[in-house]
């Protein structure tokens, strides 16, 4: 009775509506959660499930392929896009942790002492880079489905086993996303 067994389409809405007492979430919801809950919002460190606390790190990135026909132009664009002002703009627009410490110092909530500075500290201390693969969205979706099934009463070993089979099949079907 302390949480909804089946989440709605948006677990954050369930959390803000009081249907769940805890939410494992990302920085993108911190602002709206703080606006709704004020001083009642507690941002806590991630759980240690046995091999140290971990959180997903990084976001979508831009890169240049080895077969790029205009490597010089692509390198210039990548260099241009890494300016601190764009990291600041992106973090503000998406309500996410700024990509660099320099950008964090330019956003009040993420500056040392800011109400979300702890999120920067968690990212530095606990972040694990997500799998570097085009399959990541599929992997993420399968894991989310398994987690929701477990919360609804499914056997964890079976739910996670099925997710692993589905992911393996997706990789095989897509030739492991090779070239």
Would you list the domain boundaries of the chain?
1-42, 55-130, 133-179
What pTM was computed for the model?
A: 0.75
pLDDT of residue 20: 80
Residue 5: what pLDDT? 66
pLDDT at 63: 76
Provide block-wise average pLDDT over 10 residues at a time, the chain (179 residues): 68 85 86 93 91 84 83 93 94 91 95 94 91 87 90 92 97 89
Predicted pLDDT of residue 171: 95
Q: Please name which of 7, 55, 52 lies closest in space to residue 28, comparing C-alpha atoms.
A: 55
């Amino acid at each position: 009775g302390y949480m909804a067994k089946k989440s709605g389409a948006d677990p954050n809405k369930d959390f803000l509506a009081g249907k769940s007492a805890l939410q494992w979430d990302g920085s993108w919801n911190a602002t709206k959660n703080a606006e709704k809950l004020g001083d009642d919002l507690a941002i806590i460190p991630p759980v240690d499930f046995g091999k140290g606390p971990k959180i997903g790190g990084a976001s979508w990135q831009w890169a240049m392929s080895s077969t790029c026909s205009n490597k010089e132009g692509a390198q210039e664009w990548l260099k241009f896009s890494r300016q601190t002002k764009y990291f600041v703009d992106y973090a503000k627009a998406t309500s996410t942790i700024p990509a660099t410490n320099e950008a964090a110092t330019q956003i009040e909530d993420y500056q040392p002492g800011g109400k979300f500075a702890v999120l920067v500290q968690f990212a530095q201390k606990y972040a694990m880079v997500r799998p570097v693969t085009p399959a990541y969205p599929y992997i993420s979706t399968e894991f989310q489905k398994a987690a929701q099934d477990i919360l609804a009463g499914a056997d964890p070993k079976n739910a996670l086993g099925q997710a692993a089979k589905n992911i393996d099949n997706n990789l095989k079907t897509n030739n492991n996303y090779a070239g």
